[in-house]
Structure 1
Amino acid sequence: MAHTPLHPDLPRLPPRHVPRPRLRDALLEADCRLRLLCAPVGSGKSVLLGECMRHCPAETRLVHLDLRGQPLGAEAFVQRLATALGLPATDLAGIERHLDDESRPLWLLLDDYPRFPDAELDHALNELILCSPHRVRWWVASRRRPQLQLTRLLLDGELFELGSHELAFRENELGELLQRAGHHWSRSAILGLMEQSQGWCAGLCLCLLGLKPGQRISVEAGNALVLEYLKREVLDELPGDWQQALYSLAHFPHFDRELCEQSLGVGEGVQLLTHLQECGLFIEPVDQEGRLLRVQPALASLLAAQLPASMAKALYRKACQWYVSREQIGPALEYAFKAEQPDVAASLMERYTQDRLLQGHGLALLLEWCRELPTELRGSTPRLALLNAWALLLGGRLDEGEEYVVALERFLPQPDARQQWELIAQWKTLAGKLAFHRGAAEQARALLAEAVAELPERAWSQRLVCYLMQIEQALIEGDFDHAQELNRVAIKQAREHASLAFESLMALEHVKLLEIRGELLRAETLLNRLYSELAGAWGAEPSPMRGRTQLLRAGLLLQRGCYPEAEAAFESGLRECQACADPAAVWGHLGLAELSALHGDVAGAFTRVSDAERAMQYNHISVQLYQGLLLLTKARLWLGQGRHAQVEKAVRGQLAGGTQLPPFGAPELNVRLHLLLTQARLAAGEVGEALDSLRSMHARALEEGRRPLACEIGFSLAEALHAGSRQAQAKQALLDALALARQMGLASLERAFALRNPAMRQWASKSAGNTGESAHAALLSRRELDVLKLIAQGFSNQQIAEMLFISLHTVKTHAQRINFKLGVERRTQAVVRAKELGLTS
């Protein structure tokens, strides 16, 4: 493309200018009548126009008119435009005739279009744009969206528009800006700055002013410069009530028109909001419908700080009252605390439901609010004591929660028999949950059963918690039929009360049951459906239920050997649980540790375990909740390092502690610790005792239907038999374990076995027969192996049938059997699994 020579009247580009071809080229290549850059001050509109002007074709006439955002009537605008075009004084019709007579292509650039609405001005511009011939191209940069016939232009393909989101700096552009200023930051530091600034061009450039190479940005210094810039460019020219409205709305994470009326004045709030929106004053939509709005996050705290503290408190009181009137207790509580009204907050907390604790940030917020309440208010009523107890127990802080459970005794006797009965039933629920987490099986069983029988209908959420503990206890004890029946009853009750949170909890228990039985693909399908339902119902807000769903899904993916997907799911679930103060975040740390170990990164695995321990300590989670899980992960790592004596000592100490129940969410923990102890004894050469123990454990696991556990024990049993020189039995045990692993898709068990005992894997390959087949291949027939190898080479079923001289139906049957034996659903997955297991090259 030919370019015009640089003219003196072209706007000067700023020092250290970062070209942005993604925007410039899109604008230059757009074949339309109007290019509209509409975004708040400091979004880089003028600079982008200047960059585009330098790429104007040589045969095109360029007319640039900087209107400086100042008020300009329609008549004055017409005269300014006529002068720029080189015309004598004329009217709108005269300019239209001139544009129609223009023989060469023409670019008309209107920079910084007047900031305040003017219907006559917009009408004049609209007429000019619509009446212009196609060779006339209009470029308009504006803080506000002019009242033009934009929909018509868009439908006609004559509009190309860029907003604040498109104009914001991207990560690579910010990196280049930093380099041009002599700064070399890490990617994490750049991402942090991106998050703070939201890519706002002026804010980034102002923060970098005067910054020496290697120096980090000072938020305070940056804010001072940004505030000075905003005052000069925007704030000082606003009417006082507009400024106050903007500062007020910046205090809300989001708002709608009704809240504006409540906080800014009935009859005035919506009008003020409209003025701010029309002038492009940093108000942006939160949702697609545009019902919820917010002040741009990069500027919200800075603008909010301009409102006096007394006015901010009054604003919070109004917001609290408004949310109470709409029965939105969570936001009402938040603003009661901000308004420094603890009595109001305590009263509102009594209306907080247990169901709400399992949604979004509910648990994290309540724990924070409880800390903010004066000590004398936290347990001042039975309801507050119960709520604090539930929040602390759900947060994994058993000792603190127990204090409130004990404190309930202060409220006995109650005024009447019904209230007395209900409070005691509530106490039994809490005491039963506490007993479960303390490992007291019989005490938990008795208390939970009594609570289920005694709780009134309105305490349905507490009854569901009892069911949850009972289901978990049944899974621990191997009573799967009872667990399934309890789960069915609980899900029905959760649906009757329209509680997606509790229905999700019960669904996750069902997933655990499927996982214990080895139905991994079915479990993963259920988790995928549940995640979609939760995302659809609760949007993008972090959720403990969705976090746990991701963590369980990650565990299944890990078992099936889908490591990249498992890592992503672990990271996602970990972030959501951390954001919601859910102690299940520890599962994420330990899952990532197991992934690191499978990839041979033992040091990284121990680091992940340390992360889990730090998270427990930081969040004051009772150590007994995850001590066994932490030990399980560390002992597996120690065993891989050959430190079998340390494994035996640590595991014996844990099992000798008298804990009868494993922590919630790990129903097979105790038996897996026993397995680790047996593996350590086998590694120490105690083959006879280990063999007896493994045979007993294997038989019991198969009898109870714990197929993945039986498979894991089976690999160790084969090792024990091999160490005891019982080669034929060892070979059969290994092939049985491999077959079971393939049927369920437990690729990680095979990988862990190969890492732990590569010599035995080689022995198994040699003992598979004279054909040279590996122990893996022995599970597939010769014809199935032939079909699998051709699938891996990319041949279709029809081509395979012709090459092997068999029917298409037979090929499909072989393919189905291969999928079943490898534990996969699709042929692409079969190829990946086969390569991992060494069945294809």
Structure 2
Amino acid sequence: MKAFDNYPAANDEGLAERTEKGRLVWDLLRHRVQSPRPGADIFPRPALTERICKAIEPGSILHIEAPAGYGKSRELESALLSSGRELSRVRWVSLQDQDNDPQRLFMLLSLALGVSDADFDSVPVPGRGQSLNDGLEWLLANLANSGEATEVLVLDRVDRVQSQDGTALLTQLLDRLPPGLALVLLSRQALSFETHSYELGGRFTRLTADTLELSRSETAAFYQPLLERQQVTQIAVEHLYHLTEGWLTPLALYRLEVEERGEDRLPVQEARSVVAFLRSAVTAELTPAQGRSLAVMAEMDVVSDDLFLAIADSQCDTSFLPSTAMARGLPLRSAGNRGRWFRLLPLVREWLLSTTLAGRKARATLASDWFAREGQFTEALRYALQCHDTERAIRVASEGSEALLIGQDTASLLRLRQSLPAELIQRSPRLQIVYAWVHALGGQFAEACALIDGMSAEDQRLLQGRLSALRAFLLSGEGNVRAALKEADQALATDDLSTHARLVAQLVRSGAWCALGRFADARSASREASKLARQAGDPGAEILTVYAHARIEMSKGALRHAEQLLRTGLDTSVSEPARPPRVGEGRLMLNLALILWHQGRAAEVDRLLTRFIRHAEKGRDLALLLALALRALLSKSQGQVEEAFAWIGQAERTMQAWQVDELVYVPVLEALKTSCWLAQGQLESARQAMVRLAPFRKQHRVLELFPMMPGLLDTLETRVALVAGDESAAIGQLQEQYSKEELTRHPYIHQLHVVLLQAQAHQRLGQSETALMFFQQALEMAAPEHYISPFIELREEIREVAREGLAGRQPGPLVDALRTLFQLEAEASARPPAVDLPEPISDREFGVLELIAMGLSNQEIADRLHISLHTVKTHARRINAKLGVRSRTQAIVKARELGLL
């Protein structure tokens, strides 16, 4: 390292001279060393605050890296304030470009590390063999011996320091960090020096935008005041979340905009304050050529460096690549599962696309040609459509339609369908079969049948094998499993059947045998499908075979094995770069969410569904129906029945918009509605729903996405009978199901429901010993795989028998989870004896009543119980009705008179 006197400080003659100018610079820099100030209106994020606090330990290094607007500084300030530290011993320095000068940086570090004005002259004199790193070594040693030392040093915008000598000083600071000092680095982009050695040493923590962004639930909570005042709707908040992906500053600015402008507000990408922020955070520091490069990137859904170079025009800065933009700290992200591909944050992309650049059609043509050369027909088709070149689109369709289908990219095929002349499809048997498959994957079975039935007799004869495979798939999708088996066998008997058609036929057979409870036959067909997928060298087909195998294990109740299969399949798919999302991959993700739901892992389910729903909406994947059904079940399990109905409504609107056949979605949604009405005690509505479900029960269809449906409809009928007080009818229905030899062939979830309902029914009849026997059986069935979802679904109905059945049991994962689910410890110590009322107060209502008596407001109760304000008000109205009062005060008085409080 060079001596001090070889580094003249900015606007100074050097520390070595001890000049007045040196003292002046010292005084100027002193004002840049601050302590955190209490912030106003910080959105509480306790989990993130706790994580930051844990990372700010003496001797540790915390790096928070995210583009502008993610709340790095505010979250850090919040954590520092909540940690109880003396803020006078926290030093905060915001670095600037001028701080690349090493002497200037050294002076800032001296001030931040506690060198006072009086100690200015005691800083080691440069020259005489002394160097800057010698000086920093002295400072750090002096800090370790100081009783009033700085405890936390925050270097904000540390990425501005790029010079070799400045970086050397920072590296030395990290290497020689005193044990009593915690160092926090804030940056918008990656650091200019390596940190892996500190990570391996266990004293370095990195938090990125993924950690700082608001989750879906946090976004809803952030907009809760506006939701309560009906200034925005839940759908609007969901849209905001999808656009911003939890980017805090745009969300906060738009919330202010809504509060100020109300119904006159603009879309978030056009809102004045948001646009101003985007200009300052995204394009302010770019040259015009770089800004144009970024706008060209926005025209692509995803973009790589090579693709950008293929479409960039002469006005672009071709050295400003997508990878460069991401490294600069701009809001780009890696495109999932696509290697070195990138995507702009949706809000930024929408904002950039609001100004149309000249030559967009020509760039779409170049993009289409580039993807065609790469053999990526999906993307080639997408941009052929964007440049409105019908001939090009038809050429792509004729050359790559089957490749697109094998690649499971139905979204692009559907878009192409809208642009292709109808007469072209009618003249081409090949396209008729392709689009029959597409409609079948989208649940439009009637439309698929119309396409192939319209083929000439000669074409049907020539394509007999392929048509049999397709008909088998259609029958399987409609739930006609026995007919599907027969058609699949006919397809496999055809000599000239393609490998992929044989694979589909075997997958149909596997699913059909699984639905019939013939698991050995199902596994045999699944193994044959796996062999065909490997022979074809098609990773997408292999994913489908993993899905088929996992479905068999799920039906048997082997949740852990199924989870392992699904995670392995997802890991395999992630390892494949540069490919579009596939139907099979979505099935893996969704069935993993279903397993997690069965095991009560709600937070993981929420994250998976958020990813999957975006993917499914783009690809018009019928599996979106199952995803939205899980969303409804999650909401219902949390006591938010109105929100569950909202998800059911969204599913119904989507299925109708996609023109999905009613037989696919109506029974699913009616069953969900029945479950929600039972939770609300609306017996008549539940009965009417069962009447509407009667035709579907008679057909006994086993839908591919909902193999549990026939059993679920049977148990719903039993539940309605129990709620109506008709225990004898319920017992009869259950005995009929329970005594059947084929009960074990039903999906495991149906078996668990039957056993739990047996326990409830016998408990209602006063047959406690029999009820406890069945409850014990349910526990033994559920414990090995932690199969808790049936207990969650029937929580209110089996509460009484669960309280008795869990009393005195040894702790264990399932028993402990069920005690938490039924709130047994709290009830045992806090709940007073039951009081005879015309209609008893439920456990959830009793919890609300207690908090009302404590003087909490409705909003405070909602926050305490983690439920919506609307739900609290509903509980309060029901409490008043059951107690026969009209106000909160009267309710408290009456409850005390009855001994409830």
Count of residues in Structure 1 that have an aligned counterpart in Structure 2 = 746
Match of 1:832 among 814, 817, 835: 817
| Distance in 2 separating the partners of 1:591 and 1:741 | 23
| Distance in 2 separating the partners of 1:454 and 1:581 | 32
Return the letter of the residue paired with 1:661: R
1:30-70 superposed Cα distances (whole Å, 9 cap, x missing partner): 999x999999999999999xxxxxxxx9999999998799x
Return the letter of the residue paired with 2:397: M
| Residues 714 and 734 in structure 1, CA contact (< 8 A), matched pair in contact too | no
Shift of 1:125: 7.3
Match of 2:382 among 324, 330, 334: 334
Match of 2:661 among 622, 640, 646: 622
| Residues 711 and 741 in structure 1, CA contact (< 8 A), matched pair in contact too | no
Return the letter of the residue paired with 1:654: F
Equivalent residue for 1:390?
Answer: 437
1:315-373 superposed Cα distances (whole Å, 9 cap, x missing partner): 1111211111111112211111122222222222345466855878x333332343344
Shift of 1:190: 8.0
Equivalent residue for 2:467?
Answer: 427
| Residues 339 and 578 in structure 2, CA contact (< 8 A), matched pair in contact too | no
| Residues 282 and 330 in structure 2, CA contact (< 8 A), matched pair in contact too | no
- Report SS of the residue matched to 1:495: helix
| Distance in 2 separating the partners of 1:331 and 1:558 | 35
| Distance in 2 separating the partners of 1:355 and 1:433 | 19
Shift of 1:396: 0.9
Return the letter of the residue paired with 2:413: L
1:611-668 superposed Cα distances (whole Å, 9 cap, x missing partner): 4323322332111113333344444556675448646644444345xx3633223345
Cα RMSD of the aligned pairs, angstroms, is 6.8
Give TM-score, length-normalised by structure 1: 0.65
Equivalent residue for 1:474?
Answer: 513
Quick one: percent identity of the two aligned structures?
Answer: 21
Equivalent residue for 1:508?
Answer: 547
| Residues 319 and 335 in structure 1, CA contact (< 8 A), matched pair in contact too | yes
Equivalent residue for 2:739?
Answer: 698
| Distance in 1 separating the partners of 2:696 and 2:520 | 30
Larger Rg, first or second structure (1 or 2): 1
Match of 1:735 among 773, 780, 786: 773
- Report SS of the residue matched to 2:300: coil
| Distance in 1 separating the partners of 2:368 and 2:324 | 24
| Distance in 1 separating the partners of 2:773 and 2:155 | 77
| Distance in 1 separating the partners of 2:416 and 2:600 | 42
Give TM-score, length-normalised by structure 2: 0.61
- Report SS of the residue matched to 2:260: coil
Please list, as runs of the form range in 1=range in 2, the aligned pairs for 1:186-201 lying within 5 A after superposition.
196=243
| Distance in 2 separating the partners of 1:315 and 1:699 | 65
Shift of 1:489: 1.4
Check if 1:313 corresponds to 2:361: yes
Return the letter of the residue paired with 1:463: R
- CA change 1:577–1:446 in 2 (3 A) is same
Return the letter of the residue paired with 2:488: L
Return the letter of the residue paired with 2:816: V
- CA change 1:359–1:722 in 2 (3 A) is same
- CA change 1:661–1:398 in 2 (3 A) is same
Gap runs ≥5 in structure 1: 49-56, 82-91, 415-419, 766-773, 778-784, 793-826
- CA change 1:290–1:5 in 2 (3 A) is farther
| Distance in 1 separating the partners of 2:603 and 2:327 | 47
| Distance in 2 separating the partners of 1:513 and 1:681 | 32
| Residues 143 and 280 in structure 1, CA contact (< 8 A), matched pair in contact too | yes
Equivalent residue for 1:800?
Answer: none
Shift of 1:739: 1.8
| Distance in 1 separating the partners of 2:356 and 2:707 | 54
Equivalent residue for 1:654?
Answer: 696
- Report SS of the residue matched to 1:663: coil
- CA change 1:376–1:144 in 2 (3 A) is same
Please list, as runs of the form range in 1=range in 2, the aligned pairs for 1:37-56 lying within 5 A after superposition.
none
Return the letter of the residue paired with 1:258: D
1:93-148 superposed Cα distances (whole Å, 9 cap, x missing partner): 99x9999999999xxx9999999x9xxx967978999999x99xxx99999999x8
Equivalent residue for 1:590?
Answer: 629
| Residues 626 and 705 in structure 2, CA contact (< 8 A), matched pair in contact too | no
1:782-830 superposed Cα distances (whole Å, 9 cap, x missing partner): xxx7xx64xx4xxxxxxxxxxxxxxxxxxxxxxxxxxxxxxxxxx4445
| Residues 440 and 477 in structure 2, CA contact (< 8 A), matched pair in contact too | no
Match of 2:494 among 450, 454, 470: 454
| Distance in 2 separating the partners of 1:555 and 1:173 | 23
| Distance in 2 separating the partners of 1:645 and 1:169 | 44
- CA change 1:465–1:303 in 2 (3 A) is same
Equivalent residue for 1:404?
Answer: 451
| Residues 701 and 707 in structure 1, CA contact (< 8 A), matched pair in contact too | no
| Distance in 1 separating the partners of 2:209 and 2:740 | 62
Equivalent residue for 2:7?
Answer: none
Shift of 1:384: 2.5
- CA change 1:698–1:537 in 2 (3 A) is farther
- CA change 1:839–1:527 in 2 (3 A) is farther
| Residues 472 and 665 in structure 1, CA contact (< 8 A), matched pair in contact too | no
Return the letter of the residue paired with 2:370: W
- Report SS of the residue matched to 1:664: coil
- CA change 1:68–1:491 in 2 (3 A) is same
- Report SS of the residue matched to 1:454: coil
| Distance in 2 separating the partners of 1:168 and 1:272 | 27
| Distance in 2 separating the partners of 1:590 and 1:716 | 22
| Residues 268 and 274 in structure 2, CA contact (< 8 A), matched pair in contact too | no
- CA change 1:347–1:407 in 2 (3 A) is farther
| Distance in 2 separating the partners of 1:226 and 1:100 | 47
Return the letter of the residue paired with 2:732: L
| Distance in 2 separating the partners of 1:358 and 1:301 | 32
Return the letter of the residue paired with 1:259: L
1:425-458 superposed Cα distances (whole Å, 9 cap, x missing partner): 222222333344445566544432222222645x
Return the letter of the residue paired with 1:320: S
Please list, as runs of the form range in 1=range in 2, the aligned pairs for 1:245-260 lying within 5 A after superposition.
245-260=293-308
Match of 2:536 among 497, 507, 513: 497
Equivalent residue for 1:612?
Answer: 651
| Residues 261 and 268 in structure 1, CA contact (< 8 A), matched pair in contact too | no
Check if 1:670 corresponds to 2:710: yes
Shift of 1:695: 3.6
- CA change 1:540–1:739 in 2 (3 A) is farther
Return the letter of the residue paired with 2:391: D
| Distance in 1 separating the partners of 2:602 and 2:221 | 34
Return the letter of the residue paired with 1:462: A
- CA change 1:31–1:300 in 2 (3 A) is farther
Shift of 1:512: 3.6
Equivalent residue for 1:263?
Answer: 311
Return the letter of the residue paired with 2:493: A
Shift of 1:573: 5.2
Gap runs ≥5 in structure 2: 1-25, 76-86, 109-125, 143-153, 178-183, 829-901
Match of 2:413 among 358, 366, 371: 366
1:705-731 superposed Cα distances (whole Å, 9 cap, x missing partner): 766545544555677789999x7xx95
| Distance in 2 separating the partners of 1:44 and 1:602 | 33
Check if 1:463 corresponds to 2:511: no
Equivalent residue for 1:581?
Answer: 620
**Which one is further off, 707-716 or 16-25?**
16-25
- Report SS of the residue matched to 1:213: helix
